Chains A and B, each alone.
Chain A
Amino acid sequence: MIYAALFYAIALFTVAGAFGVAFSENVVYSAFSLMATLLGAAGLYVFLGADFLAAVQLLVYVGGILVLTLFAIMLTHQISDVEVSNRAVGRWPALGLVGFVGIAMATALVRAPWKVSGEVVAKAAGEGTTYGIGDAFLGPFLLPFELASIVLLTALVGAIVLSRKEIRD
C-alpha cells in the first residue's frame, strides 16, 4: 500500500519532469526538469531492486551528462532565440513517425514476458546486483561491452579532433 503510493509518487515526479523538459519555454528550465526525470528514473530502478544501476544513473546522468548539458547551455550565446537552419519536414510526418514508434513500443510492452517483480527484487536484495553486473560484463556480454567502449572512445577522439586548435608550423 505504502510502496504503491511511493511508486506512484516517483512515477508522477518522473513524468512531470519529462513534461517540463518538453514544454518549458526556457531551455534552462528544460535542463533542470531533466534532473527531475533522471532522479525519478533512479528511484524507479531502486523499486526494481537495481541498486547499482540507480547509483550509476545518478552518477553518470545527473553528475555528468546533466552538468555538461547545463554547461553547454550557459556557454552558448543567445541560446533562447536560435534560428533553425535545418527545417523539419513538417508536423504531420513527425506525428506519424512518433505514433508508429509509440505503437511499436506499446506492443512490445504488452507482449514482453515480464518476470514477477517480487522474485527479482528479493534475489537482488539478498546479494546486491554489483557482482551479477560485473560477471555479465566480463562473461556473456564481453563483446557488446567492448564495442560500447570503442564507440565511447571514438566519440572522445572525435570531440578532441573537432575542438582542438590546429597547430601549423
Chain B
Amino acid sequence: MQQLADRLIDTGFLQGLPRGLGYVIVVALFAFLMLNFIMLVAGVTSWLERRVWARIQSRIGPNRVGPQGSIQWLADGIKNIMKEDIVPSAADAPLFRFAPYLAMMGFFGAFAVVPFGDGLIVADINIGVLYVSAVTALVVVGILMAGWSSNNKWALLGGIRSAAQIISYEIPAALAVLTVVLFTGTLSMQGIIRAQGWAPWNWFLFHNPFTFVAFFLFFVSALAEGNRTPFDLPEAESELVAGAFTEYSGLRSLLFFLVEWGNLYLIGAICTTLFLGGWQVPAFTDSGLVLGLAQVLTFFLKAYFLVFVAMWVRGTLPRVRVDQLMTLCWKYLVPIAFVNMILAAFFAAILPNGSIFVKAGMCVFGLGLAVHFFQRVLFHLRRAKPELHLSPIV
C-alpha cells in the first residue's frame, strides 16, 4: 500500500502534497473503500445465510426482493436505517450509543490484513495473524459494553456470557494459529500464503497431522469466538430474549448483526489464509489481470465454502449449555491444542520443510474422510427417503 501511496503522491492525483498528508488521505480512502466492501460482503452473507437456513429447515426463505431475493439485505438495511433509534430511559446513554461502534471497529480493523490476492491487501504487516486476534478483542469489549449499558438483566447475562466465552476460546484459537506459524516462520498473512501452494497437498491443512488437527481446533474456536451457533450463548434467543442486543433497535442493532455476518466471512477468510492456501492459483496465464481475478475468485470460493459449512452447522446443531461450552474449551480443546502444538514443534524440528510422503498421506486421509462422510449422507438419505429439492431456485 505504501508503494501505491508513494506513486500517487509522486506522479498521480496527490502530486505536490506533503508526504505525510498524502499518506493520511490514502489511508482514509482505503478505509472508506474497505468499509463499503465489507458492508456488501456482510449483506450478501446475510442473504445467503437466510436462504441456506431456509432450505435446511424446509422453508423457502426470502425470494421476493430482486431475483431470488438477492437484494433482500439492501431492503433490510434501508428499513433499519429508517427505524427509530430507541435508547431506553434506564440505559446508560453514552455507553449504550457507543457500544455498536466499538464492536464494529474491532471487526472492521481485522479486514486491514485480509489478503484477497497477490498484493491485494490493505496492509501486509509483519504481525498479520497476531493483529487479527488482537484487534478483534475490541468486539468483546463492545458486546460487554452493550450488555452492561442496556440496564437489562438479559442483556447483562448475554454480555457476561460473551466475555467468558471469547476469552476462553481465544486460547485454543491462538495455539492453533501458532501451530501453523511454526512451519511458516512468519506472522504476515501474505507470508503464510506464500509458504503454501495452489495444490491441496501444499496446503497447511494437509501439511502434517498436527496442522490438520489445528484446522479443526481453529474452526471450532473461531465459531465460538464469533458467537455462532452452536456457541451463540450471548444472544441465545430462547433463553435471553436476544442477549446483549435485547435493547437495541434500528441501525445500532443492524450494526451488531453486520458484525456477526462480517465476522462469519472473516472466519472463513482467516481459515483460508492459514490452512487452505489462500489465493494461490497455478500460473496458467501470462496476463496479470486474469491471474489476479482468478486469485480473488479462488479466495472468495474457499472462504465462502467455509462460511457455508458454518451456516450448515448452525442449521443442524442445537445450542450447547454454558457448562458444556466451558468443558469443551478447557477440558478438551485447550489440552489438545497444547499437545498438538508441542508435537508439531517436534515435527518441525525433525522435518522443517515437511515431507511429500506425509503430505500425500494426509491428502489421501482427508479424501478418505470426505468419501466416508458422503457415504454416510447417502446411506441416511436412502434410509429416510426424504423428499429432495435439489434446485436452489425456489
Q: A interface vs B, CB < 8 Å?
A: 1-3, 28-29, 32, 35, 51-52, 54-59, 62-64, 66-68, 70-71, 74-75, 127-130
Q: List 15 A-B contacts (CB under 8 A).
A: A1-B20, A2-B24, A3-B20, A32-B145, A52-B130, A55-B134, A58-B138, A63-B140, A63-B166, A67-B144, A68-B167, A71-B144, A127-B126, A128-B127, A130-B127
> In the complex, which residues of chain A have a beta carbon less than 8 angstroms from the beta carbon of B135?
58
Q: Check if A67 sits within 8 Å of B167, measured CB to CB.
A: yes
Known: A55-B131, A62-B141, A71-B163. A32 touches B95 (CB 8 A): yes
Is B199 in contact with chain A by the CB < 8 A criterion? no
Known: A35-B141, A52-B126, A130-B126. 7 other contacts (CB 8 A): A28-B95, A28-B148, A32-B145, A64-B167, A66-B141, A74-B148, A130-B187
Q: Which of B130, B160, B166 has the most CB of A within 10 A?
A: B130
Known: A66-B141, A67-B163. A51 touches B125 (CB 8 A): yes
Complex Cα–Cα for A18 and B68 (A): 53
Chain B 90-106 residues near chain A, CB threshold 8 A: 95
Interface flags, B128-139, vs A, CB<8A=1, else 0: 001101111110
Q: Check if A59 sits within 8 Å of B133, measured CB to CB.
A: yes
A-B contact count (CB 8 A): 85
Complex Cα–Cα for A35 and B144 (A): 12
Q: How many residues of B contact A (CB 8 A)?
A: 31
Q: Pick from B18, B126, B187: contact of A1, CB below 8 A.
A: B18
Within the complex, what minimum Cβ distance (angstroms) separates A152 from chain B? 14
Q: B interface vs A, CB < 8 Å?
A: 18, 20-21, 23-24, 95, 125-127, 130-131, 133-138, 140-141, 144-145, 148, 156, 159-160, 163-164, 166-167, 170, 187
> In the complex, which residues of chain A have a beta carbon less than 8 angstroms from the beta carbon of B137?
58-59, 62-64, 67
Complex Cα–Cα for A33 and B242 (A): 27
Known: A32-B95, A55-B131, A58-B135. A67 touches B23 (CB 8 A): no
Complex Cα–Cα for A128 and B185 (A): 12
Known: A2-B21, A59-B133, A59-B134. A51 touches B145 (CB 8 A): no
Q: Check if B144 sits within 8 Å of A70, measured CB to CB.
A: yes
Q: Check if A56 sits within 8 Å of B134, measured CB to CB.
A: yes
